Structure 1
Amino acid sequence: MWKREKIWMIKPPTEHPKESKYRPVLESLLPRDPMSRFNLKRSSPKDEFPNLDRNHTLMGRILNLHMYTRQFNRATESGVIFDDIIRPGLEDPGQSTGPKAVGCLAGDAQSYILFCDFFDHIIESYHGYKVTTDTVQESDFNYDNLKGGDDFDQAYAMSCEVTAGRSIEDYCFPTHCSRGERRQLFTLAKTVLEQLGEDLPGKLYSIDELSHESEDRRAVMDSPPLSLIKISVARDWPDARALWLSEDGTLAIWVNMEDHLKLVSYRSDACLQEAFKTICINVLKMETLYKKLRHPFIWKPHLGWVVSSPAEVGTGLKASVTVKLLHLAENKRLDDILDRLRLQMEATGCLGIYKISNLQTIGVNEVELTQLVVDGVKLLIRMEKRLENNSGIDDLVPAQK
């Protein structure tokens, strides 16, 4: 009883007239929760939870009601909500066989921070790499450190390709950006590519120009790819999309497609070493040019180079070699071999021809990643030769990853 009386004796703090007068002004200066700006007509998280019964993406496997509820009332400062993140995987639920799709895309760089509980699970599942605040992603663009890649057996290695994605600071990613942002990004790219062309001559084509009537027959695009339509990247097509092609054919740069920038070096001689060198040199040049314009590439210490897909964060780099593997493709140990080599294999549509590429892009630097592909492809070709001669391959299988 004494305690209760004592509590009632406590007086509320004295409120001064000026505090009452200026409180609304002070409160208006506090940063608002972005979600409070919206008036979304949504039910409870349980009622809004998507049907994932036939979803074959990593998102469909990882997402549950508890995780969905935790992300439900969050929004980034640019207005990305969790339903925007998972929509690509709902529009395209993936296939039960073949490479596993992540089924989600970030709308902006802040998405990886605000929805980290979800994205960290996706990254760990896809890359086999656990994201922590203590880990730092390293970069190595010293192409001279790469051993091999110019000596594949030409009877088996048919072509190669290295790509690198980059996103620009202060802009939303293609799934979420506005028309104005996309046009500003195009203007920035145009300025940078003009300067890049001083060392590597090339030409910038708008998507409108990439038609059947285009003088340059190396690239033709009459309509947006279905893959871009499904992930909402083809909005306002073809506004502010472009392709830059070097005159010597060693480099192509896509603007405002899956990412703000996508550098591609393709070679019909399967010389992965030269393709990697081309990417390294020009990524570094473009990074310097964008920094001069005060719009650097997005980098987070624990994630590395940040792009829209969690399948490519870290280095943003994909290296691939197209290889003829008629016998190995039928071998029952193939999936286990690829898993141990940390590689993935895609059919090209031609009998016995497959595209071998890295799966992981984070936790290793650019040289290490490309070295995995070089060494892995050489080993796969050795195995193919053994099988052609009706010999075993068990002694060639790596003991572990």
Structure 2
Amino acid sequence: MATTENEVPATASEEKVEKPQEENSTAAPPTENDVSAAEEDKSASAAPEAESTPAEDNAEKTEEKTGDEEKADGADKENKVDEKKEEKTEEPPAPEPHALEAEELFKQLSAAEDCQSLLHKHLTQAVLDKLKGKKTALGGTLAHCIRSGCENLDSRIGVYACDAEGYKVFSDLLEPIIKEQHKLSEKKAVHHPHADFGNLDKVNLENLDPDGKFIVSSRIRIGRSQDGFAFAPAINKESREQLETKTVEALNALTDSLKGTYHKLAELDADVQKSLAEDSLTFDDSDRFLKAAGGYGDWPDGRGIFVNEEKNFVVWVNEEDHLRLFSLQKDGDIGAGYKRLVTAVKALEEKLTFVRDDRLGYLTVCPSNLGTTMHTSVVIKVPHLAESDKLKPLFEKLNLNAAVVEGEESGVYQISNRRVVGLTEIQSMNEVYQGLKEIIKQEKELAWRPENVGEMFEHLSKAKACKSLVKKHLTKDVYEKLKEKKTAHEATLGDCIISGTLNLDSTIGVYAADAESYTEFAPLFDPIIKELNKLKAADAIAHPAADFGDLENLGFTEFEAEGSPIVSTCVGVARSHKEFAFSPVLKPEDRVQAEQKIVEVLKDLDGDLKGSYHSLESLSSELREQLQKDGMVFSNTDRFLKAAGVYSDWPAGRGIFVNEEKTFVVWVNEQDHLRVLSTQKGGDVVAVYKRLVTAVKTLEEKLTFSRDERLGNLVICPSNLGTALRASVFIKIPHLSARKNFKTVCDNLKLQARALDGGLTEEEVGVFEVSNKRSLGVTEIEAVKEMVSGIQEMVRLEKEAASSKPKSCTVL
């Protein structure tokens, strides 16, 4: 085959690409003085020697001196001429067009202050100056490599290799990008092991899902580049077509189950194109990142698709890489897909020479696809894991990526390997295989539902790692006492413990199914309530009568406004309607009836409590978005409540009442029948508390709430008994919260603190939600006073911590 401009022997890539500018070797033309001096020399040598008088000698010496000076003057003039010529010779040559293009692209990239790409990070002025004029043997330039990232400032990586040699010629840019992309040490050299697909006769990759309950399909992809050809950004049409011809010859030599047909994109008829598209086997020119890099030059010439007869082996020719090989499965037998792919790769290696580097592995156009270049992706149904908060940590632990396929509610994810550099092909496959095995195992555990309370007790008893209070206190004796009991609402022990059974990482693990559960199942609930409230086993549980205090003389004032670290204040209570069961066993029609009774009362509120009720069933997307922005909407995402049955018939019978000032909110049938909240920005806890008390007393005039003499207000969770009141502030305490003893400080102040979750703005860093810890055994006014005095002390400690003058914490 004839060698084109872009096709040179592999050894050419090791030669020096640029020759240095040659020094000017042309001699300077002789000067007038040079000619005179030469003629004098000739005359002197031809004339006979004669004796001279002393006077003549002196005269000759004088004349010789004058002649020397003239020669010196001539030499000076000659040197000046030479210097001018030398200066003219040493002028830098005009930059080549590709260097100028790189400079212009760099200006565009540098001007983008919000660009977050790896290219933007690592292409410094120094790197640009070093690389902009270089070329590979196949004509690849820096401009080829960076064009896409400079034109697409939202790129994540932003760079493509122009050809295999580009990884060496432009290593000052590509090497740090490769290290960061693949999470490799900056100090250590990149190292990728030799290729190893394993012994296919001994590879043990059994079908992980023979019943087809979890795995929908799988795909294994490998990229390959052929030696002697530039990559997509730099290859010309003739070379691309020559590469296609060579590749098709090798593909047509495949036999057995790999045997198939090659379809040139330029000659694809409508029926074949439609068929390939329906089977998702074709590719197009729509990727703007690759397009900007020049990857679609001369489209669609030199490109095509090879498909075997079973449509489970596909090769894309000259898409992004020279070859992309796919092995497809429509079941959980990824082992079969892997073996098919390896067989194909080895067969093609006998006919084609692929580019591989001792350090980087197989070389392809994108630095993210080096090493094995192997990407294994599996579409899997994991609805229970998706509903839990275990999914993301599990993927992190297993070194796997996950992308939602059909919306998070479907629980369908595409899972793929993260690592391609630093491990062999068989190691990569085993990593995915073992990861899938663990994912299916955990999905099965979460999907498990006990058929009766006996299975629940057995499951809890065998869970050695479980540390929940229900596990601790549901002894064999307690179980035997309670297993057959039922309340008037037909709530059972199983209804109370199902959440803790399905969520073995629960802290408490038990919810009351109705008000009567606290008496009917007291042998289980009482010891849990005592431990939650730090009471001894022999202590009696007691709660005082309700007391909201004298609203005209509360005994506390609002938090200091000037320079206050308090962002907002909220005081809320939970209440249960005496007539109805709690959410775990609440019937759909009863939930709707409870909602109607509550809404009738809410609509009669006046003054600053007057507002509107929004049913979750009829909530518009615009209003939902606004309520979410205001932090006033609730959802059905808590896996502990979901397991307890709290979200049954969602969203029927549920809604949100909001006053006109958005300072008073009531959640209806969220966790409890009512959650009444008074809130506003700043630290005016007095106004917030008065508003809440006014609302609660107004609601009590028309609704009857569940209350017990021992336990106070009865709600679904045992941790919220007593006042069922939570008084909290969002407070910025970056210095105090950074202390190692921060939790101890909170405990001493009878407070509990929760940090804001990820994705924080600069203003939110160091902000905590801090609330009262005690609810049982104190009155409402005592609980709020406890929070107020604790926050005041916390503000003082934050100021001291900020000034680095720590003092001992006041223990209240």
- TM-score of the alignment, normalized to the shorter chain, above 0.5: yes
Q: How does 1:316-395 map to 2 (within 5 A)?
A: 316-349=724-757, 350=760, 351-394=765-808
Residue 496 of structure 2 is aligned to residue 82 of structure 1? no
Q: Compute the displacement of 1:94 (Å).
A: 4.1
Q: Deviations over 1:108-144 (max 9, x none)?
A: 1110001112211121111224697783422112334
Larger radius of gyration: 2
**What residue is the counterpart of 1:187 in the other structure?**
596
Q: Deviations over 1:376-400 (max 9, x none)?
A: 0111111111111111222x331xx
What secondary structure is seen at the aligned counterpart in 1 of 2:592? helix
Does the 8 Å CA contact 1:145/1:367 hold for their aligned counterparts?
A: no
Q: Compute the displacement of 1:78 (Å).
A: 1.5
- The worse-fitting range, judged by mean Cα deviation, of 364-373 and 128-137 is 128-137
What secondary structure is seen at the aligned counterpart in 2 of 1:106? coil
Q: 1:43/1:282 Cα in 2 relative to 1: closer, same or farther (>3 Å)?
A: closer
**What residue is the counterpart of 1:249 in the other structure?**
662
Q: 1:90/1:146 Cα in 2 relative to 1: closer, same or farther (>3 Å)?
A: farther
Q: 1:145/1:56 Cα in 2 relative to 1: closer, same or farther (>3 Å)?
A: farther
Q: Compute the displacement of 1:73 (Å).
A: 2.2
Q: Which amino acid aligns with 1:217?
A: Q
**What residue is the counterpart of 2:546 in the other structure?**
139
- Out of 699, 709, 717, the position equivalent to 1:301 is 709
Q: How does 1:142-291 map to 2 (within 5 A)?
A: 142=549, 143-152=551-560, 154-197=563-606, 200-214=609-623, 217-219=626-628, 224-227=636-639, 228-290=641-703
Question: Identity of paired residues, percent?
Answer: 26
- Out of 453, 474, 498, the position equivalent to 1:63 is 474
Does the 8 Å CA contact 1:265/1:279 hold for their aligned counterparts?
A: yes
Q: Deviations over 1:331-360 (max 9, x none)?
A: 222222222221111011243111111121
Q: Compute the displacement of 1:46 (Å).
A: 6.5
Q: Which amino acid aligns with 1:126?
A: L
Q: Compute the displacement of 1:218 (Å).
A: 2.9
What secondary structure is seen at the aligned counterpart in 2 of 1:225? coil
Q: Distance in 1 between matches of 2:533 and 2:560?
A: 26
**What residue is the counterpart of 2:231 in the other structure?**
none
Q: 1:210/1:127 Cα in 2 relative to 1: closer, same or farther (>3 Å)?
A: farther
Task: Tell me which stretches of 4 or more aligned residues in structure 1 moved more than 6 Å.
Answer: 130-134
Does the 8 Å CA contact 2:453/2:494 hold for their aligned counterparts?
A: no
User: What runs of 5+ residues in structure 1 fail to find an aligned partner?
Assistant: 1-39, 96-100, 291-295
Q: 1:274/1:186 Cα in 2 relative to 1: closer, same or farther (>3 Å)?
A: same
Q: Which amino acid aligns with 2:733?
A: L
Q: Distance in 2 between matches of 1:390 and 1:378?
A: 19
- The worse-fitting range, judged by mean Cα deviation, of 345-354 and 377-386 is 345-354
Q: 1:135/1:222 Cα in 2 relative to 1: closer, same or farther (>3 Å)?
A: closer
Does the 8 Å CA contact 2:616/2:655 hold for their aligned counterparts?
A: yes
Q: Compute the displacement of 1:302 (Å).
A: 1.0
What secondary structure is seen at the aligned counterpart in 1 of 2:747? helix
TM-score if structure 1 supplies the norm length?
Answer: 0.79
Does the 8 Å CA contact 2:495/2:644 hold for their aligned counterparts?
A: no
Residue 527 of structure 2 is aligned to residue 113 of structure 1? no
Q: Compute the displacement of 1:247 (Å).
A: 0.9
Q: Compute the displacement of 1:93 (Å).
A: 3.8
**What residue is the counterpart of 2:189 in the other structure?**
none
What secondary structure is seen at the aligned counterpart in 2 of 1:159? strand
TM-score if structure 2 supplies the norm length?
Answer: 0.41
Q: 1:215/1:362 Cα in 2 relative to 1: closer, same or farther (>3 Å)?
A: closer
Q: Distance in 2 between matches of 1:268 and 1:46?
A: 47
**What residue is the counterpart of 2:378 in the other structure?**
none
Q: Distance in 1 between matches of 2:459 and 2:474?
A: 13
Q: Which amino acid aligns with 1:79?
A: E
Q: Distance in 2 between matches of 1:165 and 1:207?
A: 19
Q: Distance in 1 between matches of 2:539 and 2:700?
A: 26
Does the 8 Å CA contact 1:169/1:297 hold for their aligned counterparts?
A: yes
What secondary structure is seen at the aligned counterpart in 1 of 2:572? strand
Q: 1:301/1:208 Cα in 2 relative to 1: closer, same or farther (>3 Å)?
A: same
Q: Distance in 1 between matches of 2:568 and 2:461?
A: 41
**What residue is the counterpart of 1:24 in the other structure?**
none
What secondary structure is seen at the aligned counterpart in 2 of 1:354? strand
Q: Distance in 2 between matches of 1:41 and 1:377?
A: 47
Q: Which amino acid aligns with 1:201?
A: K
Does the 8 Å CA contact 2:501/2:509 hold for their aligned counterparts?
A: yes
Does the 8 Å CA contact 1:148/1:374 hold for their aligned counterparts?
A: yes
Q: Which amino acid aligns with 2:636?
A: P
Q: Which amino acid aligns with 1:209?
A: S
Q: Distance in 1 between matches of 2:573 and 2:495?
A: 24
Q: Deviations over 1:47-89 (max 9, x none)?
A: 4654443334333344333333332222212111112112222
Does the 8 Å CA contact 2:608/2:661 hold for their aligned counterparts?
A: no
Q: Which amino acid aligns with 1:164?
A: V
Q: Distance in 1 between matches of 2:699 and 2:777?
A: 23
RMSD: 2.6
What secondary structure is seen at the aligned counterpart in 1 of 2:597? helix
**What residue is the counterpart of 1:122 in the other structure?**
528
Aligned length, in residue pairs? 349
Does the 8 Å CA contact 1:152/1:378 hold for their aligned counterparts?
A: no
Q: Which amino acid aligns with 2:747?
A: D
